[in-house]
């Protein structure tokens, strides 16, 4: 059934949140691209939103429906931004405000792994099915077969460590990638809410094939930065309790996951420049400069300079800015406290090297991101109202901490 008819039928029926025709609506959005959803569709979705507060069904179902409509009607409402573009409120991201996962590093990692495995396995399934000419959405600018094979290989590099940690390594061999089999194994492994999150969070603005990859890679980085933010909160708590050794180990874990995720950039580098330039015409106003998790990571390391806090960089992520301005504890401030309390030698032994490794990993991320942006964007302005790559050149070497050795002696092992 087409999306408009399906929503109309729901509106005139029992209006139970769990019966909302998500599948038809998502299919319809993917058929046109979110920027081009026909007016009749927007109208019935608007009607659904009007009744969404009083629908029958479980509370969680009502919340999901409201979030979904919030994400879907962003452009129509003039609220479109990075959060709604990536459908972040529909994704189960690790949450730095959840005390249980701040304390439990393994649980936090599991959250991130489950989500990244789901997102990347889904994009590999899509790439493979489109290459096989099976009916798939986003038919414009399909990649050549060689490029698809490269994507499948690079996608497996991203997945391998997380699959192994989740006990799913049997689902796929690096040298024999079978995306359908992999997806089935991952789908079986996920719970119903996670499957739903994957299905509802692919709402591209265009019909350009490569936008699928772009969205899934951005979402995977979001999940990774969200985990790093949780880890940094854990480090801050441990240092506050005087546990320098454990704090250093948790910081090493954050370094490990940042480094491990770097093949996500190699995967995204396979995006066709022409494809990116095509669909980005409809993404104005949605930029990762608005990423809460990234700015939270930056500001949990040390309090950013006032000039940065008052610049477009932090004004674009107001919640992270508020936290930083309200004087939240940071790794740097906790280290300072330890030093002032007479633990300078302990800090030197346990933490300085870990801080240097983390700083090198984050700076490495920024430099790779800068190179990728130059390749894709050239000298064009960004979608976050900056000068584009000139802005990135300026910010890529901002110090992560105030004081770390100038020549880091290399990364310690990931001690998670
Ligand atoms: C085609 C690939 C990409 C291009 C061309 C690109 C371009 C840009 C540009 C021009 C900016 C400056 C803000 C603006 O005006 O938009 C920016 C910022 C940013 N991008 Fe990307 N980006 C790409 C991929 C990614 C990916 C995969 C991530 C992962 C989440 C990411 C995360 C960020 C972050 C966190 C910022 C804010 C940096 C800061 O304020 O210090 N970008 N990007």
CA distance 83 to 129: 28
Tell the residue nearest (CA) to atom 37 of ligand 1: 289
- For the chain, the 3-state helix, strand and coil shares in percent, each to the nearest 5, are 70, 0, 30
Cα-based distances in Å from 395 to 281, 288, 369, 398: 25, 14, 11, 5
The answer as to whether 262 is a domain residue is: yes
Answer whether 57's CB lies under 8 Å from 16's CB. yes
Same domain, 305 and 172: yes
- Kindly tell me the burial class for residue 283, based on how many C-beta atoms sit within 10 Å of its own C-beta (0-12, 13-18, 19 or more): buried
The answer as to whether 20 is a domain residue is: yes
* Domain final residue, candidates 80, 113, 135: 80
Nearest to 301 by CA among 228, 195, 198: 228
Same domain, 41 and 149: no
Same domain, 73 and 146: no
Same domain, 76 and 132: no
- Pocket test residue of 263, 367, 369, 396 for ligand 1, highest count of atoms within 8 A of CB: 369
The answer as to whether 126 is a domain residue is: yes
DSSP state of 281: G
All residues at 6 or more sequence positions from 214 whose CB lies less than 8 Å from its CB, including other chains: 268, 271, 276, 279
CA distance 326 to 303: 10
Tell the residue nearest (CA) to atom 7 of ligand 1: 373
Pocket of ligand 1 (CB under 6 A): 217-218, 221, 268, 276, 287-289, 291, 294, 313, 369, 372-373, 376-377, 382-386, 388-389, 391-392, 395
pLDDT for residue 36: 97
Q: What's the CA-to-centroid distance between 377 and ligand 1, angstroms?
A: 11
Same domain, 244 and 317: yes
CA distance 326 to 114: 33
Number of domains comprising the chain = 2
Same domain, 229 and 280: yes
pLDDT for residue 389: 94
Tokens standing for residue 153:
């290989």
Counting runs of H as helices and runs of E as strands, what totals does the chain give? Answer: 23, 0
The answer as to whether 416 is a domain residue is: no
Nearest atom in ligand 1 to 287's CA: 16
Same domain, 284 and 370: yes
Along the chain (416 residues), what's the average pLDDT of each consecutive run of 10 residues? 93 95 97 96 97 91 97 97 98 96 96 98 97 92 97 95 94 79 96 97 98 98 98 98 95 98 98 98 96 98 97 98 97 94 86 95 98 93 87 96 58 48
Same domain, 58 and 158: no
CA distance 252 to 258: 10
Answer whether 179's CB lies under 8 Å from 127's CB. yes
Answer whether 410's CB lies under 8 Å from 360's CB. no
Tokens standing for residue 215:
């969205």
Residue 382: give the domain boundaries.
Answer: 99-395
DSSP assignment string, 81-139: -HHHHTTGGGS----TT-HHHHH-HHHHHHHHHHHHHHHHHHHHHHHHHHHTT---S--
All residues at 6 or more sequence positions from 344 whose CB lies less than 8 Å from its CB, including other chains: 338
């Amino acid at each position: 059934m087409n999306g408009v008819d399906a929503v109309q039928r729901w509106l005139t029926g029992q209006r139970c949140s769990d019966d909302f025709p998500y599948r038809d609506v998502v299919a319809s959005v993917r058929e046109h691209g979110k920027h081009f959803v026909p007016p009749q569709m927007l109208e019935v979705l608007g009607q659904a939103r009007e009744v969404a507060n009083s629908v029958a069904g479980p509370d969680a179902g009502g919340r999901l429906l409201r979030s979904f409509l919030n994400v879907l009607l962003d452009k129509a409402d003039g609220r479109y931004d990075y959060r709604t573009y990536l459908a972040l409120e529909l994704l189960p991201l690790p949450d730095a405000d959840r005390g249980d996962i701040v304390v439990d590093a393994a649980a936090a990692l599991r959250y991130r792994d489950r989500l990244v495995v789901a997102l990347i396995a889904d994009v590999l399934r899509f790439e493979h099915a489109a290459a096989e000419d099976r009916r798939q959405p986003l038919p414009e600018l399909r990649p050549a077969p060689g490029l698809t094979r490269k994507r499948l290989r690079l996608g497996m590099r991203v997945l391998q460590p997380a699959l192994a940690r989740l006990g799913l390594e049997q689902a796929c061999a690096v040298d024999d990638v079978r995306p359908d089999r992999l997806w089935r194994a991952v789908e079986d492994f996920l719970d119903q809410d996670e499957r739903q999150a994957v299905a509802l969070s692919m709402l591209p603005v265009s019909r350009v094939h490569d936008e699928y990859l772009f969205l899934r890679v951005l979402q995977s980085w979001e999940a990774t930065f969200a985990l790093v933010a949780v880890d940094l909160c854990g480090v801050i708590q441990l240092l506050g309790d005087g546990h320098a050794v454990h704090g250093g180990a948790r910081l090493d874990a954050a370094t490990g996951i940042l480094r491990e995720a770097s093949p996500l950039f190699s995967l995204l580098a396979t995006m066709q420049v022409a494809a990116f330039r095509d669909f980005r015409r409809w993404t104005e106003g949605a930029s990762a400069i608005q990423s809460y998790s990234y700015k939270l990571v930056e500001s949990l390391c040390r309090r950013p300079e006032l000039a940065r806090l008052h610049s477009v960089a932090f004004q674009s992520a107001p919640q992270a800015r508020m936290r930083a301005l309200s004087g939240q504890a940071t790794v740097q401030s906790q280290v300072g406290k330890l030093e002032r309390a007479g633990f300078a030698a302990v800090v030197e032994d346990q933490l300085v090297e870990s801080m240097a490794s983390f700083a090198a990993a984050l700076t490495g991320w920024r430099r790779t991101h800068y190179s990728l942006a130059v390749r894709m964007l050239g000298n064009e302005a960004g979608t976050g109202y900056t000068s584009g790559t000139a802005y990135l050149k300026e910010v890529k070497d901002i110090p992560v901490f105030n004081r770390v050795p100038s020549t880091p002696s290399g990364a310690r092992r990931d001690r998670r």
